[in-house]
Amino acid sequence: MAPRHSQFRYGDEEGTHKFRKLILFSGNDYLGLSSHPTIGNAASKAALEHGMGPRGSALICGYTDYHRQLESCIADLKKKEDCLLCPTGFSANMALMVALGIVGSPLAAGKTPLTNEKIAIFF
C-alpha cells in the first residue's frame, strides 16, 4: 500500500487558504495498513475474542502465550528456528549489539585474540 495522504492548509497574507496534498512518512501508519480491510477484520475478530484496551508491551505487562505464538509464526514465516520480539527499537538495537559482540567469543575460545580480531561497534 502507498503511504497515507493528508491535506495541508496554508494561507497567504490576504487570508485566502490553499490546500496541498502531502505524503506523510512520519506517522506509525505510513503503509496505510490501519485502513486495510483485512487488518480491520482481523482486529475486530481479535477484539471480540480477547477484548481490547491499553495493555502495554510484554516488558511492562508480562509475556503471554500470544507473544509466544506471534514469535513462532514469524519464525515459521521467515523459515527460521525461532524469533525474539523486542519491546522497543532501543532494546532491539541493544540485542543486536550484544549478539555482534558475542560473535568474537566463540572465535577466540581457548586462545587470545590477535590485535586485528577485535570487534568495534558504533551505535
Mean pLDDT of 89-99: 84
Model confidence, pTM: 0.49
- pLDDT for position 21: 74
Q: How far apart are CA 123 and CA 99, in angstroms?
A: 13
Mean pLDDT (the chain) is 75
Alpha-carbon dihedral of residues 86, 45, 29, 79, nearest 10 degrees? 50
Q: How far apart are CA 104 and CA 117, in angstroms?
A: 8
SS3 content of the chain, % helix, strand, coil (to 5): 45, 15, 40
What's the pLDDT band for 1 if we cut at 50, 70, 90? very low
pLDDT tens profile 12-68: 556 666 777 776 666 777 677 888 899 889 989 988 988 877 666 677 777 888 889
pLDDT tens profile 53-63: 766 667 777 78
